[in-house]
Structure 1
Amino acid sequence: MKRLISANNLLLVGVVVVGAALLGVATSGRFFGPVSMTAFFTYLSVPILIGLAQMITLCVGQLNLAVGAIGGVAACAAGVMITSWGVPPWIGALSTVLVGALLGLANGLLVVGTRINGFIVTLAMTQILIGVQYGLVGTRTFGSSAWSPVTDFGDAEVLGIPNVFVLTLLVAGVVALFFSQSVSGRRLLASGGNAHAAELAGISIDRTLVVAHTLSGLLCGAAAFVTLAILPGVNSSIGGDWLMPSFAAPIIGGVGLAGGTVAVLGTVLAAMVVRLVDAASAIFKFDTSAVNFVVGAVVLGTVALGRLREVQAARRASILRSRRAEAALAEVAG
C-alpha cells in the first residue's frame, strides 16, 4: 500500500487547503460557517465510499461500472421494504449493505464463471440493475419520513462532525487495515500486481476477483445507507451520477489502473477535491457540463501522467539492464 506521506498525498493536501481557502475568500468566510461545513462533510461521505469501492476492484486490475446501479438498487430496495413491506427502519436501511454485497458477489461470480472482462460484465449488470431499480420504484419517490430514525442519525453530529462522515472515516480505516494487515488484503494486492507470480505462490486468482467485487458491492451498499440517512427520499435517479466520482477519487488519489496498488488516504483526499469542485460549482453557478468536463480532464490527465511515468521507469530499467550486461561482457572479455 502506498505510504501515507507521499508526494501525491502532500499535493492533494495542498490542493484541498488552497481550494478551501479560495472558497472561503470568495464567500467572505461563509464557506467555513457551521452550516456550510456540516453540509460539505455530510455530502462528502458518498464520494469517499464509492471511491473506495472502485479502488478495491482497481487493485485487482478490474473495473466496476455498476457502482451507481448497485447503490441505487440497494437504496430503492430498502425504501420499498420499509415503506411498502413494513420492515423496521433500521433493518431495512442496513439491508443496503447486504444487498450491495450480494450484487457485488454476483458480479464476481459472473466475471470468473464467464471469463469475460469485468468491464463488460459490470457494464451489462448496470443496464440490468437500472431496469430493476425502475421496477422497484417506477416514477415514485419514497420519502424519508418512513425511516426517520435513520435520518435522525444522518442529521446528528459528534463533536460538530456529522455522524455519516465519522462512519465513513471508520469504514476507510477498516479498508486501510484490511489491505495492510490481513492476509486476504495482501492476496488481492499480489494478484493485481502479478497474477502469474500470485498463482505460483498458491493464491487463487478467481477467489480474489470474487472477493474484490463482493467488497466493492458492500461499500456501494454502505454508500446507499448513507444516501438513505441524508437525502429526503429515494427514487430511480439514485446512483445515476456515481460513476465518474467513483473513478476520479482513486485515480487522482494515486491508484494505478494496472492493479496491485491501493491508496486509501489518497482516495479520501481526492474525494475532498472533487467535493470542493462541486461546492464551487454551486457557489459560482458553474454549468454542470463544464464541471464534468474539468473532472474528466483531470482524471484523463492523471491516467496519462501515470502511464508516462510507467514508460519512463521501464525505459530506465531497460537502460540499467543494458549497462549491467555491457559491464559483465567487458569484465569477461578483460
Structure 2
Amino acid sequence: MTLQHETAAPTDAPQPRRTPRLDWRDHAIYIGFVVVFLLFAVTLGADGFLTGSNLLNIVRQTAVIAVMAVAGTLVIAAAQIDLSVGSVAGLSSVVTAMTLSATGNLLVGVLAGVGVGLLVGVINGGLVAYARIPSFLVTLAMLGIAGGVAQWISGFQPIPILDRTFTMIFGSGDFGPIPSLLLWAVVVVAIGVVVMNKTAFGRQILATGGNPVAATFSGVRVQRITFAVLVISSVVAAIAGMLYAGRLQSGRFQWGTGDELSVIAAVVLGGTSLFGGTGRVLGSVVGALFVGLINNGLILAGLDVSQQIIIQGVIIIIAVALTRKR
C-alpha cells in the first residue's frame, strides 16, 4: 500500500494582502450633512437658503456650540459628561459684563470670565476625580448652581457691554473678511484636533475612557486626566459665554441655556461614543453644523417651534441609530 503524504504549505509563504474594510458608519455624519444640505438647497432655494448671508448666519449660530463641542469631545472620550456648560457660559457672560462695567478694563473683564470657568472646573473635576462622585450628578447640580448665581448677581436683568474692543474680539467684529466668531471656532478646533490626535494627553484621554483599569496599570494617571478634561470643559464654556456676550453685546444668565444638550448631540453625532474610548473633534464640529443646518432649514420652511423640536429629535435619533456600530 502506498502512503500519500500531504504537503504542508510553507509557513513563510506570502499571505494575500487584506484591504482595510471601510465602514460607512464612520462617515455617516458627513454623508448626512451633505444629504440634508442638498435637500434644503432644492426645497428652500427660493426662500434664500443658499444666499451667502444665510449660510454665514448658520456658521455664526453654530460657532459657539462648535467651540464647546471640542471640549465636550475630550470629556465624553474620557467616559465623563458635563451638563453644566450652558449655565457656566451664562454665568461667565454676566461676570464679564459686570466686571467690564465696574472697572472699564478689558483684561480684567476677560480674566474674570475665564476665572469663573476655572473655578467651576476645579470644583467639578475635584468632586468627580477625587471624591469619586459621578460626573452626571456633579455637573447636573452645578448646572443649577451656576444658573442660580447668574440670576442672583444680575438681578434677572441684562448687563450691557459698551466696550467696543471686547465686542469686536469676542463675536461682533471681523478680522478682514473673517468674522471673529469663525476665527475663534477655527483656532479652538485646530487645537482640539492636535491635542486629541497628536499628543500623549489625547492618547491618555482615550485610554482613560476605554478602560480606566488598564490605563492605570499602563501608567496613566486616570484621576488627573479626569480632573483635567472637566477643567478644560468649564474654561472653554466660559470663553463661549464671553463670545455670546460679545456677539449680543450684553451679559445675560439666559445665554447658553440648553446648550449642554446641543453639545452632547453634536459630539455623539460626530462619532464619539458616550461610553468613552473614542473621540473625533472634526466629527463633533460637523455634528454642530448639522444641528444648526437643521434648525435653519426648519425655520425657513415656516415650521413653528414645537414642530421644529419634534423633527430635530427624530433626525438626531435616526442619525445616532445609523452611526451606532453593532
Say whether the fold is shared (TM-score over 0.5): yes
Match of residue 119 from structure 1: 136
* Matched-pair contact (CA < 8 Å) for 2:64–2:181: no
Residue 293 of structure 1: which of 289, 310, 313 is its match?
A: 310
Match of residue 13 from structure 2: none
CA distance in 1, matches of 2:33, 2:177: 20
Larger Rg: 2
Amino acid paired to 1:235: R
1:203 maps to 2:236:
no
1:62 counterpart SS class: coil
Q: Using the TM superposition, give the Cα deviation of residue 220 of structure 1 relative to its aligned residue in structure 2, in angstroms.
A: 0.8
CA distance in 2, matches of 1:90, 1:282: 38
Does 230-239 or 25-34 show the bigger shift?
25-34
Match of residue 147 from structure 1: 163
Amino acid paired to 1:249: A
Q: Using the TM superposition, give the Cα deviation of residue 223 of structure 1 relative to its aligned residue in structure 2, in angstroms.
A: 1.1
CA distance in 2, matches of 1:222, 1:289: 30
Relative distance call for 1:90 and 1:147 in structure 2 (3 A) is farther
Please give the TM-score of this superposition, normalised by the length of structure 1.
0.83
Superimposed CA distance per residue, residues 90-131 of structure 1 (whole angstroms, 9 cap, x where no aligned partner): 541454333213311210101123311110111111111111
Relative distance call for 1:283 and 1:304 in structure 2 (3 A) is closer
Q: Using the TM superposition, give the Cα deviation of residue 259 of structure 1 relative to its aligned residue in structure 2, in angstroms.
A: 0.5
> Which structure 2 segments of 5+ residues have no match?
1-21
CA distance in 2, matches of 1:18, 1:269: 13
Residue 46 of structure 1: which of 40, 53, 64 is its match?
A: 64
CA distance in 1, matches of 2:27, 2:110: 37
Match of residue 5 from structure 2: none
Between Structure 1 and Structure 2, the one with more helix by share is: 1
1:69 maps to 2:84:
no
User: Where do residues 80-229 of structure 1 align in structure 2 (5 Å cutoff)?
Assistant: 80-83=98-101, 85-93=102-110, 95-144=112-161, 146-153=162-169, 154-158=171-175, 160-229=177-246
> Which structure 1 segments of 5+ residues have no match?
313-334
Superimposed CA distance per residue, residues 187-232 of structure 1 (whole angstroms, 9 cap, x where no aligned partner): 1111111111111012121111101101111221221121122114
CA distance in 1, matches of 2:262, 2:229: 19
Does 86-95 or 163-172 show the bigger shift?
86-95
Q: Using the TM superposition, give the Cα deviation of residue 23 of structure 1 relative to its aligned residue in structure 2, in angstroms.
A: 3.5
- Identical pairs, percent: 25
Residue 54 of structure 2: which of 24, 33, 36 is its match?
A: 36
Root mean square deviation of aligned Cα = 2.3
User: Where do residues 266-277 of structure 1 align in structure 2 (5 Å cutoff)?
Assistant: 266-277=283-294
Relative distance call for 1:157 and 1:20 in structure 2 (3 A) is farther
Please give the TM-score of this superposition, normalised by the length of structure 2.
0.85
User: Where do residues 22-33 of structure 1 align in structure 2 (5 Å cutoff)?
Assistant: 22-25=39-42, 26-28=44-46, 30-33=48-51
Residue 296 of structure 2: which of 276, 279, 303 is its match?
A: 279
Q: Using the TM superposition, give the Cα deviation of residue 18 of structure 1 relative to its aligned residue in structure 2, in angstroms.
A: 3.6
Residue 251 of structure 1: which of 268, 281, 288 is its match?
A: 268
Does 281-290 or 190-199 show the bigger shift?
281-290
Q: Using the TM superposition, give the Cα deviation of residue 134 of structure 1 relative to its aligned residue in structure 2, in angstroms.
A: 0.7
Q: Using the TM superposition, give the Cα deviation of residue 261 of structure 1 relative to its aligned residue in structure 2, in angstroms.
A: 0.9
Amino acid paired to 1:14: I
CA distance in 1, matches of 2:222, 2:25: 30
What is the number of residues matched between the two proteins?
Answer: 303
Match of residue 230 from structure 1: 247
Q: Using the TM superposition, give the Cα deviation of residue 36 of structure 1 relative to its aligned residue in structure 2, in angstroms.
A: 2.2
* Matched-pair contact (CA < 8 Å) for 1:252–1:270: yes
Relative distance call for 1:13 and 1:305 in structure 2 (3 A) is closer
* Matched-pair contact (CA < 8 Å) for 1:251–1:302: no
